[in-house]
Amino acid sequence: MLIHDAIALFIEGYFSTCKRSDKTKAAYTTDLAQFRLRFNEDRDLDSIRADELEEWARALTDEGYAAVSVRRKFASLKVFFGYWVRKGVVASSPLWRIRLDLAREQKLPRNIPLADATRLLQAAWVRMSSERCNTKVQRDAPFLASRNLAALEILFATGMRVGELVSLRLSDWNEDEQSIHVKGKGGRHRLAFLTDQRSLAALAEYLPRRRKVLCGHESLFVNLAGGPLSTQGVARVLTGLAAEAGITMRLTPHMVRHTVATLLLRNGADIRVVQEVLGHSSIAMTQRYTHVSKEHLRETLQMRHPSHHMAIDRQAGAHSL
């Protein structure tokens, strides 16, 4: 089978039987398109050799691709070749005969300082209050202010991914339980709870306005055109509110998620609970945040430990021994 036929049939067949997100499908499509360009689309799939794939990995690294990106591309290839091994098209996968020795990047998640997070939320509430009271503003302004406030409060209350936020439907909100049904990565579902009065008040402010929007779909968060709010739209909201709050750091929605995780651990939440809140498939993913909390623990001990406040003359003590 030729490479270009194998890729087209794989995309059609694999994603029709395996439940994967559109984002995952797009990533596989991109990775396999690069593979096709590298190895000539008219070449037989079973002619691909392990040493050629190793050379491609080195070339990607030389071109400046991060180790995590190279690993992802080869993970896509592993699934791709495994699919055709199961179909009997190729006898074995060339990836079984290679090992990628790529150093894992230990990047700590970037957080929003607590003072900046407080100012950000305050800016959203101030905007909501001013638009509610000002009768001269455009008709759309109160809707946008309430939508932005509700989106931001839900992100901070639940730590959900921005993609999960924009995928929420009106029916996902359970008012009796004060919970949100979240459809997470890999088809995993979980409940996110709004446990503070502020986020509940923000959602209560927004929902009546949203239900007046007749747009032919059930997305919880919508844009002014009536379509579902995009992840880029949420990012722009965050940037605008940060500017109003006088925050110079570049903020992203994912930083809100990191901040929630860090603060939960810092305030004593069990790591298994944090794993469930964030929707991590593995506890190892949640453990990344313990590094940040360890730094906080060290700083707290340095400032608060009794030994730093005991006026002991160590030199005098040494003479008495």
Q: What is the mean pLDDT of residues 53-79?
A: 89
Please tell me the predicted confidence (pLDDT) of residue 151: 97
Distance CA 236, CA 114 (A): 21
Q: Which of 110, 132, 254, 288 is catalytic?
A: 254
Please tell me the predicted confidence (pLDDT) of residue 8: 92
The residue that leads in pLDDT, 104 or 28, is 28
Please tell me the predicted confidence (pLDDT) of residue 244: 94
pLDDT over threshold 90, residue 130: no
The residue that leads in pLDDT, 19 or 76, is 76
Contact 286, 271 (CB under 8 A): yes
Q: Which of 4, 72, 132, 185 is catalytic?
A: 185
Domains 3-97 and 114-251 share a fold: no
Q: In what order do the strands lie in the sheet with 189-193?
A: 173-174, 179-183, 189-193
pLDDT over threshold 50, residue 318: no
The residue that leads in pLDDT, 310 or 217, is 217
Query: Is 296 tagged catalytic?
Result: no
Please tell me the predicted confidence (pLDDT) of residue 314: 46
Superfamily of segment(s) 114-251: Intergrase catalytic core (1.10.443.10)
The residue that leads in pLDDT, 271 or 109, is 271
Q: Where are the domains of the chain?
A: 3-97, 114-251
Radius of gyration of the chain (CA): 25
At 317, is the pLDDT very low, low, confident or very high (cuts 50, 70, 90)? very low
Neighbour count for residue 203 (Cβ, 10 Å): 23
Query: Of 200, 166, 196, which Cα lies nearest the Cα of 183?
Result: 166
Distance CA 151, CA 157 (A): 10
pLDDT over threshold 50, residue 321: no
Q: Which of 28, 83, 206, 289 is catalytic?
A: 289
pLDDT tens for 218-234 read 999 999 888 999 999 99
Please tell me the predicted confidence (pLDDT) of residue 97: 80
At 188, is the pLDDT very low, low, confident or very high (cuts 50, 70, 90)? confident
Q: What is the mean pLDDT of residues 123-142?
A: 76
pLDDT tens for 282-306 read 888 787 777 666 666 666 666 765 6
Please tell me the predicted confidence (pLDDT) of residue 316: 47
Query: Is 308 tagged catalytic?
Result: no
Query: Of 183, 186, 187, which Cα lies nearest the Cα of 160?
Result: 183
pLDDT over threshold 60, residue 182: yes
Query: Of 316, 317, 299, which Cα lies nearest the Cα of 308?
Result: 299
Least confident window among 107-111, 144-148, 175-179: 107-111
pLDDT tens for 29-63 read 999 999 999 998 788 998 999 999 999 998 988 88
Q: Which of 127, 147, 257, 258 is catalytic?
A: 257
Query: Is 185 tagged catalytic?
Result: yes
Query: Is 217 tagged catalytic?
Result: no
Cα–Cα distances in Å, from 275 out to 52, 110, 200?
A: 39, 18, 23
Q: Which of 36, 119, 147, 280 is catalytic?
A: 280
Query: Is 139 tagged catalytic?
Result: no
Query: Is 294 tagged catalytic?
Result: no
Q: Which of 161, 206, 210, 258 is catalytic?
A: 161
* CATH topology assigned to domain 3-97: DNA polymerase; domain 1 (1.10.150)
Q: What is the mean pLDDT of residues 100-128?
A: 80
Distance CA 110, CA 222 (A): 28
